[in-house]
Amino acid sequence: MQKERPFVITIAGFDPSGGAGLLSDIKTLEQVKVMGLGVCTALTLQTASQCLSLEWRSIDEITKEINVLMSHYPVSVVKIGIVKDAGFLGEIIKAVKVCNPDAKIIWDPVLKSTSEFTFFNLETLPILRNIIDKISLITPNYNEYRILKDNGLLSNGNSCSVLIKGGHREDCLGTDVLVEGRNEILLEPTNDDFIYYPKHGSGCVLSSAIAGELAKGERLEIACRKGKLYIEQFLKSSPYLLGTHS
């Protein structure tokens, strides 16, 4: 008898191109062999190259859906994508923890899109100081990491871990840094001659792959390494902005 797959919820935006957000997350979770559930934070009008508009859903609708799903399914990991501000994020985290205090939460801090469309109200960042320790892992790129660090949110005293993605590095392109407490682990590309193509939604894919591996019981470093293998395959899946999952 086949073992039931573990459950992961992605709480993210709807991207009609399918390259990012909920649709991309669900594709990824399916490939890493977990059951993906979805809660929509925002409706967007976008393509792989630009975001034209965004309409936020109410936090009451979002938390109600979280409560329904988590009361019905044994969700152990929750991945959070675009949210409009720190208060919005805090209410989502609160709803998750009420349902399952032990649930692991991954936040992919999408502050701006690649096309420079702003999602997150940076003026609310100080509120995060009260909730950041309830997050298990944050997955910023280098630009997002600098913003969070400059606002005093990321330090060696945090209980949450941070995976700093290396796709925007000027040196050692593709080398990620996993920070767990006071330990830093370099996650280098698996191939020295690795050729990749920029992809719309690559951050969504990576964080979802990690979430899936954590739900299957992998410890954080191994989950991040497996997620990195997945994103490398995704980045070289085609020369276009929309990648394919396999």
Give pLDDT tens digits for 57-94: 999 999 999 999 999 999 999 999 999 999 999 999 99
Distance, in Å, from the CA atom of 103 to the CA atom of 53, rounded to the nearest integer, reads: 32
Question: Residue 242 — pLDDT band, cuts 50, 70, 90?
Answer: very high
Distance, in Å, from the CA atom of 199 to the CA atom of 185, rounded to the nearest integer, reads: 25
User: What is the bridge-based pairing of β-strands 51-56 and 35-46?
Assistant: antiparallel
**CA-based end-to-end distance of the chain:** 25
Q: In 3-state terms, what secondary structure has residue 221?
A: helix
Phi and psi (nearest 5°) for 36? -95, 125
Distance, in Å, from the CA atom of 3 to the CA atom of 228, rounded to the nearest integer, reads: 26
User: Which pLDDT does position 116 carry in this prediction?
Assistant: 65
Distance, in Å, from the CA atom of 78 to the CA atom of 33, rounded to the nearest integer, reads: 15
Average pLDDT over residues 33-60: 95
Provide the greatest CA pair distance for the chain.
52
Nearest-CA neighbor of 39 among 87, 83, 97, 100? 83
* pTM score above 0.85: yes
